[in-house]
Amino acid sequence: MKYCFCPPLPAFPGHSQKRPECRMKLLCGKPFTALSLFLFFILPSLPACAASFTVTSSKTLTAAALSELGLSSSGTAYSEGSYNTDVTWQGDVDGQASSLDQVITGSTVVRNSILLWYYSYNSSYESRPTFNASYRIFGTGGVENTLSSLTASSSTIGATLTAQPVTCSKYSGNTYRCYGYANLNLNIADARRSGTYRGTVQISIVYY
Amino acid sequence: MSTKSPRLTLCLFSALLLGVNSVPAPLSGASKTGTTTLSITLPDCIILHYYSTLNLTFEEYSQAVDEGGSGTWNVQWSGAAEGGNQLSASTIQNVLPGTVTMTIPNVWAVRGLSPSGNAKVTLTVVNSQLVSGSSKITILSGSGQTQIDDNAGHSGTSINTSLNGIAASNATIGNVRMTLDFSQTNMAGAHSGGQYKITAETI
């Protein structure tokens, strides 16, 4: 997805006032020829879009690793030790509640510096803008701050996006780019399924 | 007109140069919106909690059993006795069962993530004999004898049950139903060596 806008074409300061005939005579004779040359040859050679926003349409993050959950393998058998109980000859057992050790040490997955958008501009046309970017993330059904399983929307991951400061750097020639990054914090404690989870990030940028 | 045209040409190109070389000003306040789709994949994982040792202590049992009625015997002066009621294996009351079926609660649990959100949990008896010398207690195998259940209506030697995610607080906790046969048991005290195995896998 690419959003693009063009700055105003260069104005001709002063000339229309000092020499009104420049405008009046444009459509005839050699001035017309010159204008035609400008329109057909020079103008097209100018950048069609001197500044543009590019929003990343989709981003597949690095899959969560077992190690991020504190696991070394996909299957873990954990012994809770000994279970001691009395039994009657009728088969009655003095039950005891099972208190499970928390084998998994973490339920948080973090993905930092996710590039959501960038702004390209020609430093010959404009100076570096200032940006205020904000992000909101929604799962299936518009539930904010979640990602939803593709196979079962009721299985969700808690998601929090944190905007990072916009950074700008020279891209090539006079072209500079300003990058909008965010950090994503995922809480998978409520997830029920493995597989792919998806969410939509709404990006709002104010620049001046 | 022809004399003014060069001026106009000059005018155009001058303006162009002025426009290109003029110092740009930042754009006045503007806004943009857009959307990005983010996706991430969670791996399969399953955690099985179990007890490595089960110690079952049966209550001590002693009871005097009145087999009822009265015994009438003909006794000779030589000391021989005949007639009357006699106890036999077939006539004594069976106050202790030969087999005991019990449900041992909350001795396994599973949690994790799977494509379906469920896991297949299976119980098999690996070693059915608990022994103490010549005395044996046998774990009877098979559905209805020794099996598992998940406190959610699923029972059998192999069940599909919910994993409920990775949080321990949401784990599925289950029981083991076990039937012991005491028909070859002739000693009190510890009998050991029986073993069952629980296998859990993501589905």
pLDDT in tens, A45-80: 444 446 889 999 999 999 999 888 888 888 888 888
pTM of the model: 0.74
Give chain B positions within 8 Å (CB) of A157.
40, 42
3-state DSSP assignment of residue A190: coil
Rounded to a whole number of angstroms, the distance from the CA of B71 to the nearest CA of chain A is 30
Q: What percent of chain B has pLDDT over 90?
A: 57
Mutate to test the interface with B, among A4, A25, A82, A89 (most CBs of B within 10 A): A89
Distance CA(A12)–CA(B18), nearest Å, equals 7
Give chain B positions within 8 Å (CB) of A113.
none
User: DSSP for B113-156?
Assistant: EBSSSEEEEEEEEEE-EEEETTEEEEEEPSTTTSEEE-SSS-EE
Mean pLDDT over each residue of chain B, to the nearest integer: 83
Which of A96-100, B70-74, B199-203 has the highest average model confidence (pLDDT)?
Answer: B199-203
Q: Which tens digit of pLDDT belongs to each residue from B142-174?
A: 888 999 999 999 999 999 999 999 988 889 999
Residue count of chain A? 208
Residue count of chain B? 203
Mutate to test the interface with B, among A194, A205, A207 (most CBs of B within 10 A): A194
Neighbours of A134 (CB within 10 A): 12
pLDDT number for residue A175: 94
The values of phi and psi at residue A84, to 5°, are: -115, 130
Q: Which tens digit of pLDDT belongs to each residue from B84-118?
A: 677 777 777 777 788 999 999 889 999 999 999 99
**Binary contact (A11, B5; C-beta < 8 A):** no
Residue (of B105, B157, B152, B101) closest to B126 by Cα position? B157
pLDDT number for residue B29: 75
Residue (of B200, B121, B202) closest to A192 by Cα position? B202
Total beta-carbon pairs less than 8 A apart between chain A and chain B: 331
Residues 6 or more apart in contact with residue A94 via CB below 8 angstroms: A85, A86, A87
C-alpha Rg value of chain A to the nearest Å: 30
pLDDT number for residue B66: 80
Distance CA(A143)–CA(A150), nearest Å, equals 14
Rounded to a whole number of angstroms, the distance from the CA of A114 to the nearest CA of chain B is 10
**Binary contact (A26, B8; C-beta < 8 A):** yes
pLDDT number for residue B187: 93
pLDDT number for residue B82: 80
pLDDT number for residue B15: 37
Among all residues of chain B, which has the CA nearest to that of A66? B43
Q: Which residues of chain A have pLDDT under 50?
A: 1-28, 38-49
Among all residues of chain A, which has the CA nearest to that of B34? A203
What is the SS3 assignment for B2-69?
CCCHHHHHHHHHHHHHHHHHCCCCCCCCEEEEEEEEEEEEECCEEEEEECCEEEEEECCCCCCCCCCC
Q: Could you say which residues from 171 to 190 on chain A have a Cβ atom under 8 Å away from some Cβ of chain B?
A: 184, 186, 188-190
Looking at the complex, does the CB of residue A105 fall below 8 Å from at least one CB of chain B? Answer: no
The helix (run of H) or strand (run of E) holding residue A24 is: helix A21-24
Residue (of A113, A112, A117) closest to A206 by Cα position? A117
Q: Which tens digit of pLDDT belongs to each residue from B171-193?
A: 999 999 999 999 999 999 999 99
Mutate to test the interface with A, among B11, B102, B149, B181 (most CBs of A within 10 A): B11
Q: How confident is the model at residue B83 (pLDDT cuts 50, 70, 90)?
A: confident
**Binary contact (A191, B166; C-beta < 8 A):** yes
